[in-house]
Amino acid sequence: MSRRTAEAMKKSSRSGSLGYDEVIDFDQIRKERREKRKEKLEKKKPAEKDALTRRKAAKRRRFMILCTAGILFVSAVVVSAGINLWNLHQEKQETQAALDALMQKQAELKNELSQLDNEEYIEQEARSELHMIFPGEIMYVIPTESIAANEEVLPEESDAKPE
């Protein structure tokens, strides 16, 4: 006899309903056992499985939140550094332009300083900047555009006045 048949016989002998001469339906007994096992597993596992699933889901959520926060933090640091670098580059360009202008002015001032020993340069500067002339010379002043615009208004007024 197989093990299953022996078990089935023991069950039937315990219950007292079946004897050795009765026919045993093994398929039905297997189905009953499977159903009982399923019921026991369902009673035990849902509570355990549900709690484990909740814990795992909570851990996954925490992990995803921490990963997202970490990625956002690193992104913010990188973007901040990039913006700072760009601002420093702009400031460097502005400072370089100011330095170039100052170096050009310095070159002009050195050139002017070297010409201060030259008498012709001193004479030219005295005539143009200070409007100085030698004795006996006549100075002619040519009006600039802004002065010429003002003088055009004045002659019209002077035409209106009798002389």
Q: Which of 1-5, 58-62, 128-132 has the lowest mean pLDDT?
A: 1-5
Measured CA to CA, the distance from residue 24 to residue 13 in angstroms comes to 12
Q: What is the pLDDT of residues 109-135, one digit of tens each?
A: 998 888 888 888 888 888 888 878 888
Measured CA to CA, the distance from residue 47 to residue 60 in angstroms comes to 20
| pLDDT reported for residue 11 | 56
Q: What is the pLDDT of residues 66-89, one digit of tens each?
A: 999 999 999 999 999 999 999 999
Mapping DSSP onto H, E and C, the string for 31-72 reads HHHHHHHHHHHHHHHHHHHHHHHHHHHHHHHHHHHHHHHHHH
Q: Cα angle at 124 between 150 and 107, to 5 degrees?
A: 100
Beta-carbon count within 10 A of 9 CB:
16
For helices 3-15 and 26-115, the axis angle rounded to 10 degrees is 120
pTM equals 0.40
Q: Which of 14-23, 114-123, 153-162 has the lowest mean pLDDT?
A: 153-162
Largest CA distance in the chain: 162
Measured CA to CA, the distance from residue 147 to residue 75 in angstroms comes to 63
